[in-house]
Amino acid sequence: MKQAIAYYRVSTSRQGKSGLGLEAQQDAVEQYCSVNDYNLIKQVIEVQSTRKYRAGLFNALALCRKRQATLIVAKLDRLGRDVEQIAGIVKSKVEVKVVDNPHANRFTIHILAAVAEEQRQRISENTKSALLAAKRRGVELGKNSKVLAVANRRAAENFADKLSPIISRFHDRGIVTTRAVCKELNKRKVPTFRMVGKWHPSTVHTLLNRLNRNKNK
């Protein structure tokens, strides 16, 4: 039986004391281990209210190396939202399994983390820039839907560019139709532009059109 170490993270001391969010993570990991023949030998729980260095995570990684175990997390964001940190984990010798995306490999984990971080940053930067420019032109805030539309369009274009390597890999494997790409994106838990919900053929069609336009610029 394969050895596994679970890493759970809750965001605040209140959640850590109450178990809010923790029980769901534990249930997901324990069920995954049971189905996939993993022996869960250790559970590391970290209560974290900031994005600073996470001692619990790196202790869990050290234990995995020592025991030749697999690190298992319920969701990718439990590893962190900093792409450099996740890149370091991916490049380590520790095998990582993400329960809600069991098909993710090292390449996919890295790409998904980069896409999520870039998306958050781009939306924030574009929105702030658009609002500031509108304010300088005398536009009343609250009446700037056109300004935000421009910001969102730019963010969507950047988002499409970030997904380009994944779409290219799909095409190399013969996954080329809109429905096939849609199914694969959902299977791999690739986040949508809005970071919520699932992909639909219509949103995939928009993504592919955007990628084609970006290539032809």
- Residue 38 neighbours by CB under 8 Å, 6+ apart: 1, 2, 3, 4, 32, 70, 72
Tokens 């574009």 found at: 126
Assign 3-class secondary structure to the chain. CEEEEEEEEECCHHHHHHCCCHHHHHHHHHHHHHHCCEEEEEEEEEECCCCCCCHHHHHHHHHHHHHCCEEEECCHHHCCCCHHHHHHHHHCCCCEEECCCCCCCHHHHHHHHHHHHHHHHHHHHHHHHHHHHHHHCCCCCCCCHHHHHHHHHHHHHHHHHHHHHHHHHHHHCCCCCHHHHHHHHHHCCCCCCCCCCCCCHHHHHHHHHHHHHHHHC
| Domain of 43, in residue numbers | 2-98
pLDDT in tens, 7-33: 998 876 445 444 447 888 899 999 999
**Same-domain check for residues 140 and 173:** yes
Q: What is the pLDDT of residue 16?
A: 47
**Same-domain check for residues 66 and 117:** no
Angle (CA) 128-132-136 rounded to 5° is 170
Give 10-residue mean pLDDT values along the chain (217 residues): 91 51 88 93 80 76 93 84 70 85 76 67 66 62 54 79 88 91 89 80 89 74
**Same-domain check for residues 92 and 111:** no
**Same-domain check for residues 79 and 143:** no
Could you tell me the pTM of the whole model?
A: 0.53
Q: What is the pLDDT of residue 216?
A: 66
Q: What is the pLDDT of residue 55?
A: 81
Q: What are the backbone angles phi and psi of residue 24, rounded to the nearest 5°?
A: -65, -40
Q: What is the pLDDT of residue 78?
A: 82
Chain centroid to CA 52: how far? 18
Q: What is the pLDDT of residue 94?
A: 87
CATH code at 27? 3.40.50.1390
Spatial distance between the Cα atoms of 39 and 153, rounded to a whole number of angstroms: 47
**Same-domain check for residues 124 and 54:** no
Q: What is the pLDDT of residue 31?
A: 92
User: Within a 10 A sphere around the Cβ of 190, how many other Cβ atoms?
Assistant: 20
**Same-domain check for residues 47 and 128:** no
**Same-domain check for residues 123 and 86:** no
Judge residue 68's burial from the number of C-beta atoms within 10 Å of its C-beta, 0-12 exposed, 13-18 middle, 19 or more buried. exposed
Choose the final residue of a domain: 98, 129, 144.
98
Q: What is the pLDDT of residue 144?
A: 47
Number of domains making up the chain: 2
